[in-house]
């Protein structure tokens, strides 16, 4: 099986998924969406000057898998215990792995170990 790590995908240039925090996720029949507080670096066109208390630029971002055929291994958000940060915000850890495969994608984190069949991957920034 040919596997390409997310770091090799142009869409993630200047984005560090391992330092991005999962805020939530949702799944309908053909679309899986992860809401992230994304860690963005100067190499990304989405980069903005970090706030005074930030290590780097963090922006809300949707990681979208659209037109998928199936997803295996996704835990319901209600079944995953969030982490509470000092500012009382909650998150579900980071994206541990993401790779493309000949069938679609593999991905892991607190949300599960996923096999995503088919579809396209895109990013949408919100802030």
Q: Kindly state the greatest CA–CA separation across the chain.
A: 44
Provide the pLDDT for residue 2: 77
What residue segments make up the domains of the chain, in order of their start?
A: 4-125
Distances (CA, A) of 15 to 1, 43, 84, 104: 26, 8, 23, 21
Provide the pLDDT for residue 106: 97
pTM for this structure? Answer: 0.92
Counting every residue written for the chain, the total comes to: 127
Write out residues in the chain with pLDDT < 50, as ranges: none
Distances (CA, A) of 8 to 1, 44, 61, 86: 16, 14, 19, 34
Provide the pLDDT for residue 87: 75
């Amino acid at each position: 099986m040919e596997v390409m790590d997310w770091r090799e995908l142009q869409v993630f240039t200047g984005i560090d998924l391992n330092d991005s925090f999962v805020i939530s996720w949702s799944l309908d029949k053909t679309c899986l969406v992860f809401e992230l507080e994304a860690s963005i670096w100067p190499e990304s066109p989405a980069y903005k000057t970090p706030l005074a208390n930030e290590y780097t630029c963090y922006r809300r971002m949707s990681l979208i898998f659209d037109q998928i055929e199936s997803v295996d291994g996704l835990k319901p958000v209600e079944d995953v215990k969030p982490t509470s940060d000092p500012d009382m915000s909650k998150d579900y850890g980071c994206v541990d792995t993401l790779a493309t495969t000949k069938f679609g994608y593999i991905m892991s984190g607190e949300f599960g170990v996923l096999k995503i069949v088919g579809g396209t991957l895109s990013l949408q920034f919100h802030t």
